[in-house]
Amino acid sequence: MVKLVLVLGDQLSMDVHALREADKDCHIVVMAEVAAEAEYVPHHPMKIAFLFTAMRKFAAELREKGWTVAYTTLDDPANAGSIPGELLRRAEEFGAAAVLATEPGEFRLITALQDTPLDVTLLADDRFLCSHQEFEAWAEGRKALRMEYFYREMRRKTGLLMEGDKPEGGKWNFDHENRKPAKQDLFRKGPPKAQGDPVLAEVLDLIDARFGGNFGALRPFPYQTDRAGALRALDHFITHALPEFGAYQDAMLQDDPHLYHAVISLYLNAGLLNVLEICKKAEAAYHAGHAPLNSVEGFIRQIIGWREFMRGIYFLEGPDYTRRNALNHQRKLPSLYWGAETRMNCMAQAIGQTRDLGYAHHIQRLMVTGNFALLAGINPAQVHEWYLAVYVDAYEWVEAPNVVGMSQFADGGVVGSKPYVSSGAYIDRMSDYCKSCHYKVKEKTGETACPFNLLYWHFLIRHRERFEGNPRMAQMYRTFDRMDEGRRKTVLSDADAFLDRMSKGALV
Ligand code: FAD
Ligand code: DLZ
Ligand code: SF4
């Protein structure tokens, strides 16, 4: 009896669980480009182009390895428009009733698969180090879930950077050596350039025609679209950027979107790279004396610590997580997030490169666009949808805990113990953005005061009751209270005026 095996667009690994369990002789692989996935948020055109090209190439590799693949392109007139629809259509076509699938990374799609009238077996996605059960067991009985302790478990489990049961170098975390601002350097190597090919060319034309109106550029298309290319990008990073990764991890520079970042999340999340091969290459670079411990430890922590921790939180917290709004923020996402002109240079830079590349690095996402949305009281569900749409690496399991939890504090403190908010001083310290900004980062009130300065106090005062008792925030309230009364009033009324102008669509 013929059976189907489903491979989703972000499951492009030869050893993904469902393929491991399937049998070439009786399973038909189903892959489908479908409107439902391409349109549930207005994805960046590069994100759809990357996935469709990678899917088509992966299907070709599967065929070369002897699999029968039923692949549906977006423009196929028979396309049923959704993953369950395509499964039903293929089941009828091949006389199959059973489907083997690897658990999707989003509750929406998990439910949709469970609701199909077919006999669907969902297998755990074991491309991750930590299973749902392991995370639940780790979380059980803890008052607060903190990434740092989870990360140590993952170091022990993998043996990465361990000397017996002790961490390499005597410490788990070398972040105090990191966080340096960077200088412009014309010779810094960015990620390797994409090579054009006929599959990519055909997909780019399709995406241009169907999604050309979405926010985001499509050409020049900068990304790799198969495993060989993803491995090239990884090796390029290890050779050229990993040694400086730690020191400049939090730095931001005008017109330098990548600095020393890896730009591999899109490949890793889609299945073209795997967690352990990445971390082992980084670890080997440390042992070979090519990269220092602060960089390698910091990099490995992002992958086996933050990434796995975020996935654990998403599945632990459940399907309502994306609707949380602990701070009751209701302001509409301003049009500047979709590319409308802004005088805030940091926002223009972060959003401009997001438009051009579908990429911004962590600190831009957290301390520029995320920080601004939080300070301005934007509705977190709208912020979540924006991040899910505009980044080429965005899937709900990783995006939602980063946005709803880490960045917007909308989960009330599940991911972080305090909100990530800062005034303009932080952005000024970590970037060169403020030098060419319309606003003055040193000004605290008035028409040209940096909006981050005004909104910072506005946020703290709006949420005084909730945060004043937090020992890590008490100092900020004392600073505010020491200002003279007139100044306190002016800061808050200037902030109100700014928010009002922004909400009315004025240029801010
Ligand atoms: P590098 O800085 O070089 O880091 C190396 C790798 O570590 C990344 O490729 C990524 O796999 C992993 N990593 C680092 N930080 C995190 C993190 N906080 N959570 C999960 N993985 C991490 N990452 C996504 O993959 N998809 C998202 O949709 C996403 N949305 C985010 C939204 C916000 C508001 C914030 C603050 C962070 C978000 N991140 C997301 C995490 C992080 O910003 C990206 O993983 C990173 O910028 C990807 O670029 P890179 O490969 O150059 O990463
Ligand atoms: C993101 C995405 C897009 C844009 N299109 C498809 C698609 O056409 N077919 C497919 O199988 N997967 C696609 N994906 C990835 C899914 O949305 C992803 O599997 C879920 O969000 C779970 O992570
Ligand atoms: Fe951003 Fe303020 Fe600096 Fe302008 S002055 S770049 S708005 S932090």
Backbone φ/ψ region at 479: left (φ over 0), alpha (ψ -120 to 50), beta: alpha
Coil/strand/helix, residue 96:
coil
Q: How much of the chain exceeds pLDDT 70, in percent? A: 100
Averaged pLDDT, 488-507: 97
The pLDDT assigned to 426 comes to 97
Q: Which atom of ligand 2 is nearest to the CA of 11?
A: 19
Confidence of residue 82 (pLDDT cuts 50, 70, 90): very high
The pLDDT assigned to 456 comes to 97
Averaged pLDDT, 359-376: 98
Confidence of residue 470 (pLDDT cuts 50, 70, 90): very high
Averaged pLDDT, 404-412: 98
Nearest C-alpha neighbor of 98 from the set 71, 74, 117? 117
Averaged pLDDT, 386-408: 98
Task: Compute the distance between CA of residue 282 and CA of residue 14 in angstroms, rounded to an integer.
Answer: 23
The pLDDT assigned to 5 comes to 98
List, for residues 295-346, the tens digit of each pLDDT value: 999 999 999 999 999 999 999 999 999 999 999 999 999 999 999 999 999 9
Q: Which atom of ligand 3 is nearest to the CA of 441?
A: 5
> Which residue, by CA, sits nearest to atom 10 of ligand 2?
9
> Which residue, by CA, sits nearest to atom 38 of ligand 1?
402
The pLDDT assigned to 184 comes to 87
Residue 148 has pLDDT above 90, yes or no: yes
The pLDDT assigned to 40 comes to 95
Residue 188 has pLDDT above 90, yes or no: no
Residue 491 has pLDDT above 90, yes or no: yes
Residue 185 has pLDDT above 90, yes or no: no
The pLDDT assigned to 50 comes to 98
Residue 179 has pLDDT above 90, yes or no: no
Question: Which residues line the pocket of ligand 3, CB cutoff 6 A?
Answer: 344-346, 424, 427-428, 433-434, 437, 439, 441, 450-452
In one letter, which amino acid is 326? A
Confidence of residue 292 (pLDDT cuts 50, 70, 90): very high
List, for residues 33-55, the tens digit of each pLDDT value: 999 999 999 999 999 999 999 99
Task: Compute the distance between CA of residue 375 and CA of residue 452 in angstroms, rounded to an integer.
Answer: 8
Ligand 3 centroid, distance to 223 Cα (angstroms) = 30
Please indicate whether residue 311, judged by its CB atom, sits closer than 6 Å to ligand 2.
no
> Which residue, by CA, sits nearest to atom 7 of ligand 2?
33
Is 490:442 a contact under the CB 8 Å cutoff? Answer: no
CA distances from 1 to 25, 97, 400 (A): 10, 9, 40
Average pLDDT of the chain, as a whole number? 97
Ligand 3 centroid, distance to 392 Cα (angstroms) = 26
Please indicate whether residue 32, judged by its CB atom, sits closer than 6 Å to ligand 2.
yes
The pLDDT assigned to 449 comes to 97
Ligand 3 centroid, distance to 254 Cα (angstroms) = 12
Ligand 3 centroid, distance to 497 Cα (angstroms) = 17
Residue 177 has pLDDT above 90, yes or no: no
List, for residues 84-133, the tens digit of each pLDDT value: 999 999 999 999 999 999 999 999 999 999 999 999 999 999 999 999 99
Coil/strand/helix, residue 91:
helix
List, for residues 189-239, the tens digit of each pLDDT value: 889 988 889 999 999 999 999 999 999 999 999 999 999 999 999 999 999
Question: Which residues line the pocket of ligand 1, CB cutoff 6 A?
Answer: 261-265, 268-269, 299, 302-303, 306-307, 310, 361-362, 365-366, 370, 387, 391, 393-394, 398-399, 402-403, 406-407
How is residue 475 written in tokens? Answer: 């100092």
The total number of residues shown for the chain amounts to 508
